[in-house]
Amino acid sequence: MFIIPSTARSWVPVEPNSHFSIQNLPLGLLAPAGRNVTLATAIGEYAVDLTALREAGLLDISRVVDLDSFADFTQEDLSELRRKIYDIFVDSNPRLRDNEILRRGAMESLSEAKVLMPIKPTAFVDFYSGIHHASNVGKMFRPDMPPLLPNYRHIPVGYNGRASSVVVSGTPIRRPKGQTKGANDELPTFGPTKELDFELEMGFFVGRPSAMGETVPIKDAPEHILGYVLVNDWSARDVQRWEYVPLGPFLAKSFATSISPWVILPDALEPFRIGAIEQEPAPLPHLQTKKPLTYDIKLEVHLSTAKSTQPQMISTSNSKYLYWSFDQQLAHQASNGTPLGWGDLYASGTISGPLEGSFGSLLELTWKGTKPIQVDGAERTFLEDGDTLTMTGYCQGDGFRVGFGTVSGTILPS
**Among all residues, which ones are annotated catalytic?**
133
Residues 198, 173 contacting (CB under 8 angstroms): no
3-state helix, strand, coil split of the chain in percent (to 5) is 20, 30, 50
Identify the CA nearest to 226 among candidates 72, 393, 391.
Answer: 72
Dihedral of alpha carbons 358, 359, 360, 366, sign = negative
The one-letter code for the residue type at 102 is L
Neighbours of 288 (CB within 10 A): 13
Q: Helix, strand, or coil here: 257?
A: strand
In order of 10, 22, 45, 63, 148, the CA distances from 15 in angstroms are 11, 11, 9, 35, 43
**Contact partners, residue 2, CB within 8 Å, separation at least 6:** 79, 80, 82, 83, 86, 267
DSSP lists the bridge partners of residue 391 as 301, 407
